[in-house]
Amino acid sequence: MNPSAISLVNVSKRYGPKEIIKNISFEVMPGEILGFLGPNGAGKTTTIKMIAGTTTATSGTVSVKGLDMSTQQELGAKKIGYLPEHPPLYDVFQVKGYLHFIARAKKVPKKRVKQSLDQVISACKLEKVTKSEIYKLSKGYRQRLGLAQALIGDPEVLLLDEPTSGLDPGQIQETRDVIKQCGVKQSVLLSTHILTEVTLLCARVAIINEGKLLAIDTPSGLRQASEQSNRVSLLVSGNVENLKIALKEIDDIQKVDVFKQDKDKVLIVCHLNSNNDTENIIAKLATEKTKLYQLERHGPTLENVFLQYIKKGKNSKEKK
């Protein structure tokens, strides 16, 4: 049985008295792209650094392809391509010279260096700037060059910390295509704030906040877990109070909010407990008791799920 590509078991990290990462466990399987979501300061970058071996866990075990990154860091590093949040670029180099330097540093065999460079230059769309000095590059090109250096040597594991930061829409799509292709044969841990990327690229999503792992599931699984973001909105006029009372009697409706829109119209938002076909019942009541102008079903979105889990984490902390 193949070991997981990345494994964290009961991992914590302290800097002095401050605990940054709090007993987290998860795996990234071979050929999987795992999205790593969390607000700034959640602990994503610290976790990635522990996996990369640039810092060690205070407790617990971090392993890459079965190699313990606290005792076998050098062997483990050979399996990893790492794009930090700020790409490790040397401004005095030309682009191709820098990539050649990285290939030699990674000990890519001499006979494979040219092929490896040609592959990453093509994949990251760097053909136009191969002879440019790095200090002259735009932020977008710098980010793509950072991704290229991570890809050199065909690493089995890719750690990507905000890989599309600073890119324009076209470049973002190109970068996503590269990452998606990487996920066919490599294991990818993708840290991002862009929720669309998680939906488009990732087989599973891990949500972290304040050093705690809040949830890990498929994007669709996380959506299904979000009952509070499942709602129906109505724009009505007339006897709104009677409608509100009737709606509250429906078992599947958790809460009813009423918002005044203008002189005559009112917006009613029904928060549902499930994905049942409740809007037909709501529509029937609305047409019987009021004048109905608009009815819209709002399914749970990954963004709502993300915010809900963050909110739950904060609420549980406040109750302690």
Number of structural domains (the chain) is: 2
Most trustworthy range by pLDDT among 2-11, 51-60, 254-263: 51-60
pLDDT score at 159: 97
Q: What is the mean pLDDT of residues 150-162?
A: 94
Only one residue has tokens 């079903």, namely 297
* Shared-domain flag, residues 287 and 191: no
Most confident region among 117-131, 208-222, 260-274 by mean pLDDT: 117-131
Considering 17-31, 155-169, 298-312, the range whose residues carry the highest mean pLDDT is 17-31
Q: Tokens 């792209």 appear where?
A: 33
* Residue pair 190/35 in contact by the 8 Å Cβ criterion: yes
Least confident range from 147-161, 216-230, 255-269: namely: 216-230
Number of residues written out for the chain: 320
My answer on whether 111 and 248 are in the same domain is no
Q: Give domain status of residue 243, yes or no.
A: yes
What would the two tokens of residue 235 be? 């724009």
Which of these three, 172, 190, 224, is where a domain ends? 224
- The pTM of this model reads 0.76
Average pLDDT value for residue range 188-194: 88
Domain membership of residue 115 (yes or no) is yes
**Helix axes 139-151 and 169-185, enclosed angle (nearest 10):** 10
Residue 87: inside a domain: yes
- Whether residues 239 and 160 share a domain: the answer is no
Distances (CA, A) of 30 to 17, 27, 65, 78: 36, 10, 9, 16
Residues 143 and 216 in one domain: yes
CB 69 within 8 A of CB 94: no
Last residue of a domain, one of 173, 199, 224: 224
Q: Please check whether residues 241 and 95 belong to one and the same domain.
A: no
Helix (H) or strand (E) holding 174: helix 169-185
How confident is residue 315, by pLDDT bands cut at 50, 70 and 90? low
* Dihedral in degrees, nearest 10, Cα atoms 136, 142, 144, 149: 100
Q: Are residues 96 and 237 in the same domain?
A: no
Distance, in Å, from the CA atom of 166 to the CA atom of 152, rounded to the nearest integer, reads: 22
Q: Is residue 307 part of a domain?
A: no
Residue 2 has pLDDT above 70, yes or no: no
DSSP per-residue string spanning 184-201: HHSEEEEE-S-HHHHHHH
Indicate whether 126 and 86 sit together in one domain: yes
Q: Is residue 174 part of a domain?
A: yes
Dihedral, 140, 178, 49, 65 alpha carbons, nearest 10? -170
Statement: residue 317 has pLDDT above 80: no
In a domain, 10, yes or no: yes
CB 132, CB 93: distance < 8 Å: no
313 is a domain residue: no
Boundaries of domain holding 243: 231-299
- Residue finishing a domain among 184, 209, 224: 224
Q: Please tell me whether residues 291 and 196 are part of one structural domain.
A: no
Q: Please report, for the domain that includes residue 126, its CATH number.
A: 3.40.50.300
- The CA-based angle 179-91-127, given to 5 degrees, is 45
Do 204 and 98 lie in one domain? The reply is: yes
Reported as a pLDDT band with limits 50, 70 and 90, residue 272 is confident
Q: Which of the four pLDDT bands, split at 50, 70 and 90, describes residue 7?
A: very high
Same domain membership, residue 196 and residue 56: yes
Q: How many CA atoms lie within 13 A of 154 on its CB side?
A: 10
Which tens digit of pLDDT belongs to each residue from 164-188? 877 888 888 888 888 888 877 899 9
CATH number of the domain where residue 254 is located:
3.30.70.3400
Tell me: do 237 and 215 sit in the same domain: no
161: three-class secondary structure by DSSP? strand
The contacts of residue 283 (CB under 8 Å, 6+ apart) are 292, 295
In a domain, 320, yes or no: no
Mean pLDDT of 310-317: 62
What is the rounded CA–CA span in Å between residue 106 and residue 88? 14
How much of the chain exceeds pLDDT 70, in percent?
Answer: 92
Mean pLDDT, residues 103-128: 93
Q: Do 245 and 270 lie in a common domain?
A: yes
Q: How many CA atoms lie less than 13 Å away from 120 in the CB half-sphere? A: 26
